[in-house]
């Protein structure tokens, strides 16, 4: 059917004549939004292209590219960008952060001028430092729809800002310096607009020291670590590691909360911590004894389900995300297998669901191993496979269809102390294991009833076949175990937990750590 025929037919269905239909659609059509283009004006009056952000009071921020017009809602708006200035003899003379408040009422070209720019000054923290990167940022708030801040940064050219006073703006600033002893990351922010005297300085005595360790044996390499200040308009710095495995670096930061982000060959880490002045800290990535995450089995609507999306988790970085693996999952009841499936993490979200109606004791057993199509697992790979199982009591049919409740289940999060950068313990020495027993939980799902723990036990194996018990000592909500290590090879770790009702969990991690 042609377009005109479709319009005529639709008008007939609505009981309108064609003229009436056209008139009704004309009345309903909103007026076209203004078309906006953004350009920059450098310090010496040259027009330059910019990648700008437009903030309005009604819509999400609009990110513009040079030479393009964009439909923008009418009303008040903030427009900002990094503007590059071309020198009087050519070449780049500097970059500036420019923010301008405008009222959008018609189509136009908005010019962001750096002609009144002010130099941003970061003084060296100590003599002999090399300036790696300086950055400033404006974050829009108030009645405007917020989004990522507008930033300007440099490594080779002077950095400027155009001052503006407004309660809508928060100003973030920072600098990264480098010495042979480590990097220095200075960051802060102020409210009320972009200041007219952006001059900043600090010293090592007012900073915290962090030793970042990127261990070998678990992860397959690290790339592009970044430190970001966790303020409302915090700035971040790349730490220049690309790629590496089995090394450390020292970074100094201004006091406060910082997030360390780090990519790996098959994973990603994001860790937020608070640091105090004059204190020293360590932050380890890729530590040994990777075990299951805290995803919880669920019961309800005559079903038992499990979403094992994190079978291998860095115990020192619980929010880590590592890919990829396979999981063999079996649900049993009264000694009979109700369902078995093997799922992999590579192509889709893993979902295990089994029909279960009776009230009683169920066992959910999982075997997981590192796997990715076309990739060979390294002979040096630690925590290459694991087994864990949960025995729990539930009555799935007692929970209405469409609702789920967690069942009591536990995982052991184990940190091996005293290992070197390659996750190796000294030959013939001893290793202290710190074992935290965590109850599984998924956000948004009602928790299972909490029962007191009745027993916690642990074993180790040096061949993966024969096991010997290790004694446990309670310490600050965790359990400590001392392992007398062999002269070579690897150590596997097994734990068992039982609560007062009889729910239990057993977990085995093979090649948990190596012997150097």
pLDDT 10s digits, 244-284: 788 999 999 999 999 999 887 777 888 999 999 999 999 99
| pLDDT > 60? residue 21 | no
What is the token pair recorded at 313?
Answer: 């988790």
Report yes or no on 210 lying in a domain: yes
Give the other-Cβ count within 10 Å of 400's Cβ.
10
3-state SS class at 152:
strand
Q: For 379-390, what is each residue's pLDDT tens digit?
A: 889 999 999 999
Whether residue 293 is contained in a domain is answered as no
Q: Residue ranges of the alpha helices (H) in 18-168?
A: 18-28
**Are 155 and 225 members of one domain?**
no
DSSP state of 9: H
3-state secondary structure 235-300: CEEECCCCCECCEEEEEEECCEEEEEEEEECCEEEEEEEEECCCCEEEEEECCCCCECCCCCCEEE
**Residue 291: inside a domain:** no
Residues 393 and 436 in one domain: yes
For residues 338 and 222, membership in a common domain is answered with no
Do both 337 and 439 map to the same domain?
Answer: yes
- Here the tokens at position 51 are 């990648």
Output the pLDDT for position 218.
86
Gap between the Cα atoms of 398 and 106, Å rounded: 62
pLDDT confidence of residue 331: 98
Residue 224 lies in a domain: yes
pLDDT, residue 377, reads 84
| Structural domain that includes position 511 | 298-515
Instruction: Give the pLDDT confidence score for residue 4 in this predicted structure.
Output: 35
pLDDT score for 347: 63
Report residue 205: phi and psi, to 5°: -70, -10
Return the residue matching tokens 């796997």.
Answer: 371
pLDDT of residue 373: 81
Q: Which pLDDT value is given to residue 272?
A: 94
Give me the pLDDT at residue 379, please.
Answer: 82
Q: Domain boundary residue among 143, 168, 200?
A: 200
CB 300 within 8 A of CB 396: yes
Residue 16 has a pLDDT of: 32
What digits encode the pLDDT tens for the residues 436-479?
999 999 888 999 899 999 999 999 999 999 999 999 999 999 99
Best CA proximity match to 359, nearest among 329, 333, 331 = 333
Mean pLDDT computed over 418-428: 96
pLDDT for 348 equals 66
pLDDT in tens, 36-62: 999 999 999 999 999 999 999 999 999
Asked if 328 and 461 sit in the same domain, the reply is yes
One domain, residues 438 and 316? yes
Beta bridge partners of 118: 161
221 or 513, which is more confident = 513
**Average model confidence (pLDDT) for the chain?**
90
Query: Which of 235, 262, 285 is the C-terminal boundary of a domain?
Result: 285
- Split into its structural domains, the chain has a count of 4
In a domain, 292, yes or no: no
Q: Residue 239 domain-assigned?
A: yes
Is 414 strand, coil or helix?
strand
Among 241, 261, 285, identify where a domain stops. 285
Among the residue ranges 8-12, 74-78, 187-191, the one predicted with the least confidence is: 8-12
pLDDT at residue 3 is higher than 70: no
Judge contact between 138 and 150, C-beta under 8 A: yes
From residue 3, alpha-carbon distances to 8, 9, 19, 23, 96 in Å are 9, 10, 16, 18, 52
Domain contains 386: yes
Could you give the CA distance from residue 424 to residue 513 in angstroms, rounded to a whole number? 6
**Which span out of 9-13, 364-368, 370-374, 401-405 was modeled with the highest average pLDDT?**
364-368
Q: What is the pLDDT of residue 78?
A: 98
- At residue 202, φ and ψ (nearest 5 deg) are -145, -175
Residue 229: predicted pLDDT: 97
Say whether both 171 and 68 belong to one domain.
Answer: yes
Do 327 and 426 reside in the same domain of the chain? yes
189 lies in the same domain as 45: yes
More confident residue, 425 or 156: 425
Return the CA Rg of the chain.
30
Give the residue-averaged pLDDT of 384-413.
Answer: 94
The answer, yes or no, to whether residue 8 has pLDDT greater than 60, is no
Does 290 map to a domain? no
Residue 150 to residue 79: CA distance in whole angstroms: 9
Residues 333 and 193 in one domain: no
Q: Is the pTM of this model over 0.85?
A: no
- 253, 379: one domain: no
Q: Calculate the dihedral angle through the C-alpha atoms of 484, 487, 488, 490, rounding to the nearest 10 degrees.
A: -10
State the pLDDT at residue 25.
39
Q: How many CB atoms lie within 10 A of CB 307?
A: 16
- CATH number of the domain that residue 214 is part of: 2.60.40.1120
Task: Please report, rounded to a whole number, the percentage of residues in the chain having pLDDT higher than 90.
Answer: 73
Q: Crossing angle, helix 3-13 and helix 18-28, to 10 degrees?
A: 90
- Give me the mean pLDDT over the 162-177 stretch: 97
Q: 487 and 393, same structural domain?
A: yes
Report the largest interatomic distance among the alpha carbons of the chain, rounded to a whole angstrom: 94
> Which of 364, 373, 360, 359 minimizes the C-alpha distance to 328?
364
Sign of CA dihedral 343, 349, 350, 355: negative
> Residue 242: what pLDDT?
74
Residue 188's pLDDT band, with cuts at 50, 70 and 90, is: very high
Token reading at 331: 């649900």
Q: Mark out the alpha helices in 399-452 (DSSP H runs).
A: none
């Amino acid at each position: 059917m042609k377009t005109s025929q479709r319009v005529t037919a639709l008008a007939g269905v609505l009981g309108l004549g064609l003229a009436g239909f056209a008139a009704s659609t004309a009345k309903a059509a909103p007026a076209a939004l203004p078309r906006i283009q953004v350009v920059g004006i450098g310090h010496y009056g040259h027009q330059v292209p910019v990648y700008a952000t437009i903030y309005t009071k009604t819509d999400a921020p609009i990110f513009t590219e040079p030479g393009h017009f964009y439909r923008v809602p009418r009303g008040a708006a903030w427009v900002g960008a990094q503007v590059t200035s071309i020198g009087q003899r050519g070449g780049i003379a500097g970059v500036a952060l420019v923010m301008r408040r405008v009222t959008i009422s018609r189509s136009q070209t908005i010019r962001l001028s750096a002609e009144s720019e002010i130099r941003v000054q970061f003084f060296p923290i100590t003599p002999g430092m090399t300036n790696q990167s300086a950055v400033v940022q404006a974050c829009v708030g108030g009645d405007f729809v917020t989004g990522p801040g507008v930033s300007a940064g440099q490594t080779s050219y002077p950095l400027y800002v155009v001052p503006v006073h407004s309660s809508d703006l928060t100003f973030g600033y920072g600098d990264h310096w480098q010495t042979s002893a480590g990097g220095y990351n200075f960051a802060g922010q102020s409210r009320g607009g972009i200041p007219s005297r952006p001059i900043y300085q600090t010293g090592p005595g007012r900073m915290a020291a962090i030793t970042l360790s990127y261990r070998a044996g678990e992860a397959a390499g690290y790339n592009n670590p970044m430190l970001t200040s966790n303020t409302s308009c915090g700035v971040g710095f790349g730490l220049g590691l690309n790629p590496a495995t089995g090394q450390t670096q020292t970074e100094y930061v201004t006091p406060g909360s910082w997030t360390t982000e780090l990519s790996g060959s098959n994973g990603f880490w994001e860790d937020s911590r608070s640091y105090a002045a004059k204190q020293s800290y360590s932050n380890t990535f890729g530590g040994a004894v990777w075990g299951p995450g805290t995803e919880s089995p669920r019961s309800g609507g005559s079903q038992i389900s499990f979403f094992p999306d994190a079978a291998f988790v860095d115990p020192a970085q619980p929010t880590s995300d590592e890919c990829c693996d396979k999981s063999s999952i079996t649900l049993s009841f009264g000694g009979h297998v109700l369902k078995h499936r093997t799922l992999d993490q590579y192509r889709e979200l893993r979902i295990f669901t089994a029909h279960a109606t009776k009230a009683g004791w169920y066992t959910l057993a999982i075997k997981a191993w590192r796997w990715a199509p076309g990739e060979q697992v390294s002979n040096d790979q630690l925590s290459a496979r694991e087994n864990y199982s949960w025995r729990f009591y539930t009555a799935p049919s007692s929970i209405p269809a469409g609702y789920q409740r967690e069942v009591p289940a536990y995982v052991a999060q184990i940190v091996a102390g005293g290992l070197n950068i390659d996750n190796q313990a000294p030959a013939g020495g001893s290793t202290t294991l710190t074992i935290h027993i965590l109850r599984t939980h998924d956000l948004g799902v009602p928790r299972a009833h909490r029962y007191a723990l009745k027993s916690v036990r642990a074993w180790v194996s040096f061949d993966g076949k024969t096991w010997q018990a290790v004694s446990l000592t309670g310490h600050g909500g965790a359990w400590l175990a001392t392992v007398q290590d062999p002269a070579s090879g690897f150590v596997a770790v097994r734990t068992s937990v039982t609560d007062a009702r009889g729910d239990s969990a057993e977990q085995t991690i093979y090649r948990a750590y190596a012997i150097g």
